[in-house]
Amino acid sequence: MNSNNKPQQPTATALVGDIGGTNARFALWRGEHLEAIEILACADYPRPEDAVREYLQRVGQPLSAIDNVCLACAGPVGDADFRFTNNHWVISRDAFRAELGLSHLLLVNDFSTMAWAASRLGGDDLVQVRDGAALDGRARLIIGPGTGLGVASLLPLPGAGWHVLPCEGGHVDLPVSGERDFAIWQQLREKYGHVSAERVLSGSGLENLYQASCKVDGVAPLALSAAQIGERALAGDTYCDAVLEHFFLWLARVAGNAVMTVGALGGVYITGGIVPRFLERFQRSGFADAFCARGKTSGPYLSQVPVWVMTAQHPGLFGAGVALEQALLAGD
């Protein structure tokens, strides 16, 4: 979280955005809720300021009514101006605030907003997929296979509030737990060199897992996308179903390793575009058992850690609102 502005209290209406390489999602944050969600194509606008003006015009909101903005940006966010890696936009903090007349501009990493969302989402937006008892005062882990593999931690602050710790946990080494894992890992290593968790636990990773599994088994692979692999699995294709199951088991091991690394006994929140899409199949998978099927020390450590899947429709936007709210209250 980064801002260069004076401390102030939240105003009645703020603007939040979730900006990726292709699309920019915007919404109004009012009364701790999202309103007027719109999706704009980044390629249609020379600058992010132009997209913000277009959004406000679409929803009938005057620019003068917006004093505070939080934008979730795809990529590492520091104190400097932000350059998007997958589109032509640049956010110059001072120029952006000056042109739009803002008091407060907050830029956060896009996956960090998933962690902010996890600090506030209620039962209607969460499905528990592993029983346990979350410990108060302990970190929470947020992990999300999607375009890539996002990982973040949510740390409780003394008294109240949360601190989000972003990281590059998707690029840790892929854990190998058996002969089949090793055979698939060898195929991936031959192709990519370093085999990160993201090489399997992402959209392209599911495709990698399918192709490598076919090579190991001597099966002629089809040219299937991640979505098609999942759809075929749900339709009764036993081979694709086995690949999807292996995906879920590998997610369990990576998530369990991350919990032990950061001491996330406050629970695990799974987000991203893959698991929520196949939620019923995920609930029938071996994830819950594989999560703590480990040695005599690590198994008991993980045994009571609960796991939820985030099913909120726009968790990135919601998390941006929560991040902005806490930043204004804290004077960050």
DSSP bridge pairs for 27: 16
How many residues comprise the chain?
332
Q: Is residue 17 part of an annotated ligand binding site?
A: yes
Q: Can you tell me which residue has the tokens 């575009």? A: 273
Q: Is residue 125 part of an annotated ligand binding site?
A: no
130-155 burial, b if ≥16 CB within 10 A, otherwise e? bebeebeeebbbbbbbbbbbbbbbbb
Q: Is residue 147 part of an annotated ligand binding site?
A: no
Q: What share of the chain is helix, strand, coil (3-state, %, to 5)?
A: 40, 20, 35
**Residue 149 DSSP one-character state:** E
Are residues 225 and 198 in contact, defined by beta-carbon separation less than 8 angstroms? no
**Residue 99 DSSP one-character state:** H
Phi and psi dihedrals of 193, rounded to 5?
A: 85, -100
Q: Is residue 39 part of an annotated ligand binding site?
A: no
Quote the CA–CA distance of 128 and 269 in Å, as a whole number: 9
Quote the CA–CA distance of 32 and 44 in Å, as a whole number: 30
Are residues 323 and 154 in contact, defined by beta-carbon separation less than 8 angstroms? no
Q: Is residue 178 part of an annotated ligand binding site?
A: no
Are residues 317 and 34 in contact, defined by beta-carbon separation less than 8 angstroms? yes
Quote the CA–CA distance of 108 and 77 in Å, as a whole number: 6
Q: Is residue 20 part of an annotated ligand binding site?
A: yes
Quote the CA–CA distance of 235 and 229 in Å, as a whole number: 10
Are residues 124 and 176 in contact, defined by beta-carbon separation less than 8 angstroms? no
List the structure tokens of 277. 């899409």
Annotated binding site: 17-22
Annotated binding site for ATP: 17-22
